[in-house]
Amino acid sequence: MAGQRIELPAYSMFATTPVYDVAGDIVFGLMADVVVPDLSDQLFVVPLAGVNRLDLISDEFYGTPSLWWVIARVNNIQDALVAVPVGTTIRIPTKDRLASLGVLNV
């Protein structure tokens, strides 16, 4: 909607996206990766029993399913709706690192 201010929660992947007013329309700009792979990331092998969706993995590590996008970005997962194959090793950024980047309040 033209001219409407959009408030997003701090954990949203769009929270730091620049917003432009273009001819009265709100347009989201490009955003640099907030979270990139790091040596401090925990390696997690996706287990056989159930926890293979990014929202469930996010809930297990961060206490909220809402940070699924962090795991997707760090692991270059293009289709977050598809479950991660069992046995796959993925990177999980630490809570402390997400807190220092302003993505998670710990």
Of residues 21, 86, 11, 6, the one with CA closest to residue 53: 86
Radius of gyration of the chain (CA): 16
Question: How much is the pTM?
Answer: 0.69
Q: Is residue 88 scored above 80 in pLDDT? A: yes
Q: Is residue 103 scored above 80 in pLDDT? A: yes
- In the block, tokens 């700009």 appear at 29
- Are 93 and 74 spatial neighbours (Cβ–Cβ below 8 Å)? yes
**pLDDT tens figures, 43-79:** 999 987 777 889 999 999 999 999 999 999 899 888 8
Looking at residue 41, what DSSP letter applies?
P
Q: Is residue 2 scored above 60 in pLDDT? A: no
